[in-house]
Amino acid sequence: MSLEDIYSEIILDYAKNTKNKRIIEDAHEKKGKNLSCGDEIKIFIKPENGIIKDVSFEGHGCIISQASAAIMCDTIKGKTVEEAEDFIEEVLKMARGEDFDKEKLGELDLFENIKDFPMRIKCFTLSWHTAKEDIEEIKEG
């Protein structure tokens, strides 16, 4: 996979799509930063009866971090808190180059080669790590 492949049409579409880039009132929120490149993100998760009813983000950063955040929102919305946590862990395993459940991730496995671009892994995983921390806090009550 070349660097140009990372900037595929899918990533560009997600980066341009702003439906998930918004503030959710009365949601649990968590901030994340990528100190190596300056990407910043805030994740908003609104759980209801153990299900992620809504999720969004705001912030700024490179196209990969913004697209990844939008994808993350689309993929965990509607899942139970536990399902979202498990899903996020599979994404993080994929990004680290570890064995992961391709069936569980579905089309997201197209980002499997992100592990080959160390400078981009943090960009890709910023929203996922931040959402994971947010979910952990939600579970703690």
- Domains of the chain as residue ranges with CATH: 3-140 (3.90.1010.10)
The 10s digit of each residue's pLDDT in 101-131 is 999 998 888 788 888 888 889 999 999 999 9
Q: Examine the pLDDT at 29 and tell me if it is beyond 80.
A: yes
> Which residue shows structure tokens 């997201």?
108
- What residues pair up with 52 in beta bridges, in sequence order? 47
**Predicted pLDDT of residue 108:** 85
Higher pLDDT, 23 or 5: 23
Structure tokens at 110: 């197209």
Q: How far is CA 131 from CA 20, 25, 29, in A?
A: 14, 17, 9
**Residue closest to 114 by CA, chosen among 60, 77, 78, 62:** 62
d(CA 134, CA 77): 14
The 10s digit of each residue's pLDDT in 90-101 is 999 999 999 999
**Predicted pLDDT of residue 141:** 79
